[in-house]
Amino acid sequence: MAQQQSGNTVVFCFGVTAGFTVIKYGPEKAEVLHNVPIPWILEGNNVIWPYQWLVKQLCSAKEKYVFPGDILSLGMWGADMAVIRKNGEVNPLLHYRSATNADLDLMLSRIGVTREEMYLHSGGAAAASYQPLGLIGAQKRYDPTFFKRWLTSPIENIVPMSTIMTLILTGELGNDSIMLQDMGLCKNAKALYSKLGIDEISEETFFADDCPTFDQSKVITTPFKGGEIFVIPMGHDSVHSRNVSFALTEATHGVTVNNWTGSWYGNAFKIDGNILPSRETFLQNINFEGDAVVTNIAMIGPIYKKLMNLYRLENYKAASDLAATAFPTPAMAMDELLDPNFADSDFARCGDASIILASFLKGAAALAINDAKNMLATLSLPEPNTISVTGGWGENKTYIQALACHNLHINATVVRHATNATPAGLAADAQVRMCLFPDLQSALLALPELK
């Protein structure tokens, strides 16, 4: 298989704010070929998938940027669902930002379970509004007829949006196994959804025989332009991001926590099968994704970007350098800084920009350290030697310095590919699946860095 491929790995990656990005990793060079924002359709507080745009983007990008012999690896966030009807029609549900706690609670009340029971029943997946139950509730609220069109087009499957994107690009229908787990769609969850009482949603809907589950070695060989391409089914982006951290730090740093950053930020710790979801992990907001436990601390990326725009700072480096000038100043209270409207306040507009940015970064670092310690204490795991940062804040030297200033004997490090960990992880995983490298670490060390 490896002898048939071109030496190029092309990554299609979707981010809610980053948009649709195409990156090519060649033998010597990595480059961004394409990046466009997703033109979400907004109706009040509801965010609607632009499905026709999505199909056109995927097909045109494949035609323009992918060639016979290429590996194509796919990734997106771990939420969003779509209905596949028996006539082949695809209808995406509302984007996850539309779902509210009230939507989820209404669905849970119909089933007759609590959030904790949902969490335990679904393998420790986040009991949050953006999970499938919340999305179904949001869709029913927005369009009460959506699930009732059974006379003309009954539902065959309700699947992750990642499944739809793989289908568009390959013609093959199947769910990525880790995406299912991270979204709480493990087989133990079937009984929950069958109790919803929404027409065609039954125990068989999510796991019908005609929609198989792809394991983590799956490669879809697809005829293309007179040759073949090798497509990796779309997986959960954050899994690939944190795997970069784990693969490049464990051998040299021992026990490592991955601090992942971006729009959201949080911590991840690799575990074995002996650690299971419990009431304690539910109460501490510790979620189970693949072979890791994960916490979502806060959505701070958009707040930080608003502050950067307010102070007319062009990039992360400029913001970090400005914050460094006020680093010794005592930090402000983080709860005030985490208010999404803080950047619009008179204090933010009139205050000292360097102090505000330094406080924000120091406060975020303190939250990350305390969250990591709490997560590991809850699971009775040893304190880490290293906290490894991936994502956009990996280039923020002030944030890294703040992580290392807590006198907890924790080393803060930034690994190779840190700021582009998701596409690098997707590319490296694809090359391992194609047997070009024996493991993820070797693939990542050989992979050219994206500048």
Q: Is the pLDDT of residue 3 over 50?
A: no
**pLDDT on residue 155:** 76
Question: pLDDT (tens digit, 9 = 90+) per residue, 68-101?
Answer: 999 999 999 999 999 888 888 899 999 999 999 9
**pLDDT on residue 2:** 43
Question: pLDDT (tens digit, 9 = 90+) per residue, 93-133?
Answer: 999 999 999 999 998 988 888 999 989 988 899 999 999 88
**pLDDT on residue 88:** 86
Q: Do the Cβ atoms of 79 and 185 come closer than 8 Å?
A: no
Question: pLDDT (tens digit, 9 = 90+) per residue, 373-423?
Answer: 899 899 998 877 788 999 888 888 889 988 887 655 678 889 999 999 999
Which of these, 66, 78, 73, lies nearest to 15 by C-alpha position? 78
Which tokens sit at 372?
A: 């990591």
Dihedral sign for Cα 325, 298, 141, 82, please: positive
Measured in degrees and rounded to the nearest 5, phi and psi for residue 202 equal: -135, -175
pTM of the entire predicted model:
0.90
Using CA atoms, how far apart are residues 378 and 387, in angstroms rounded to an integer? 18
Domains and CATH numbers, the chain: 238-421 (3.30.420.40)
Give the pLDDT band (50/70/90) at residue 147: confident
Distances (CA, A) of 276 to 4, 30, 86, 134, 361: 42, 39, 37, 24, 33
Q: Is the pLDDT of residue 256 over 50?
A: yes
Using CA atoms, how far apart are residues 276 and 75, in angstroms rounded to an integer? 26
Question: pLDDT (tens digit, 9 = 90+) per residue, 426-435?
Answer: 999 999 999 9
C-alpha torsion 126→216→426→292, nearest 10: 40
Question: pLDDT (tens digit, 9 = 90+) per residue, 27-48?
Answer: 999 999 999 999 999 999 999 9
